Amino acid sequence: MTPLVHLDQQIKQACPKATGVSIGRWHDKQTWRVFSDDPNEQAAARAIFDAFDKDAFEASQVPIKTLEERVSAIEQRLRA
């Protein structure tokens, strides 16, 4: 899962009336926006944005294996 997809899912849960999200610059959270007229949703989105750590999120994800790595793993299992 990408950081953007993760944020999108969190915002959709917390802000069901929101019509969109904009991430201006990843390293400047002041450029991140949620499009909602509800002040409670605005506050919830800001809390989600403030708590989000892109680097920590990416480090927590299982690395995607290359095709060669996947084929090698399958071959090793077949030999066993």
Query: What is the rounded average pLDDT of the residues 19-44?
Result: 93
Compute the radius of gyration of the chain from its Cα atoms.
Answer: 18
Which is more confident, 37 or 69? 37
Report the domain count for the chain. 1
> Residue 17 — very low, low, confident or very high, per pLDDT cuts 50/70/90?
very high
Name the residue type at position 46. R
SS3 of 4, please? helix
Relative orientation angle of helices 3-14 and 39-51, to the nearest 10 degrees: 150
pLDDT in tens, 45-77: 999 999 999 989 988 988 778 889 889 889 998
- Domain region containing 69: 3-79
Query: What is the rounded average pLDDT of the residues 17-26?
Result: 90
With beta carbons less than 8 A apart as the criterion, state whether 7 and 52 touch: yes
Q: What is the pTM of this model?
A: 0.71
Rounded to the nearest integer, the mean pLDDT of the chain is: 91
Q: What percent of the chain has pLDDT over 70?
A: 100
- H or E element, residue 63: none
- H or E element, residue 23: strand 20-25
